[in-house]
Homo-oligomer: A and B are copies of this chain.
Amino acid sequence: MPRPRAADFDDKRRQIRAAAALLFAQKGYDRTSVGDIARACAMSKPLVYHYVASKEDLLVAIIADHIEDLTQRVRRAARRAAPEGRLLAVAQALLDGYRQTDALHKIHINELARLPAPAQASLMAVERELVAIFSDALAAAVPELAGSPRLTAVTMSLFGMLNWHCMWFRTDGPMSREAYADLATGLIVAGARDLAARQAPVAAA
């Protein structure tokens, strides 16, 4: 009969993930050795391998945890908001989530491409709910978009704006994260309404 896991097994694993996430964000995945991670945890390298199957597994777990955390924040924001304000609320929640987990966002953006295709696909599956929440909120804000073949492209446009934000945003700049979430959703909603109007000009009026 296999010996049961120590009571603090999951704690240790979390500690390793947190330490690894910091190092991956600072130096990049390939330049971080498992020995670096062990040192940061004051563990031996073999002990790290007691809690973690492989370095690659560790990266996948870190990114998956991050996406699940974002999804939870965004889902909560969507639930709380009225349909009219839902898109702004989820955009705010996403950018706010990036603020709190900025190292994790960096790992997600920079290291995902380094994973083999199956691991990437499984992470994209985890991301699907997050995308769906945004699609639904967009369709609620611009009803003409619901069921449109352009809904996907418009949703991804908004994701592009929000995810690219980290590339140019400065904390000491003139525009806060909240203001940018407001600007981005405003651009998308007004743009999508205009698009719908041009698609079906004077349908009913």
Contact = CB atoms under 8 A, between A and B. Distances in A.
A61 interface: no
Given A106-B113, A159-B164, A190 B195 contact: yes
* Number of this chain's copies in the complex: 2
A145 to B, nearest CB: 11
Q: Is the interface of A mostly helix, strand, loop or mixed?
A: helix
10 contacts: A30-B30, A149-B174, A149-B175, A154-B187, A156-B165, A160-B165, A187-B187, A187-B192, A188-B191, A190-B191
A165 B154 CA distance: 11
A164 to B, nearest CB: 3
Given A106-B113, A191-B186, A195-B186, A175 B153 contact: yes
Contacts of A164: 156-157, 159-161, 163-164
Residue picked from A159, A183, A187, most chain B C-beta under 10 Å: A187
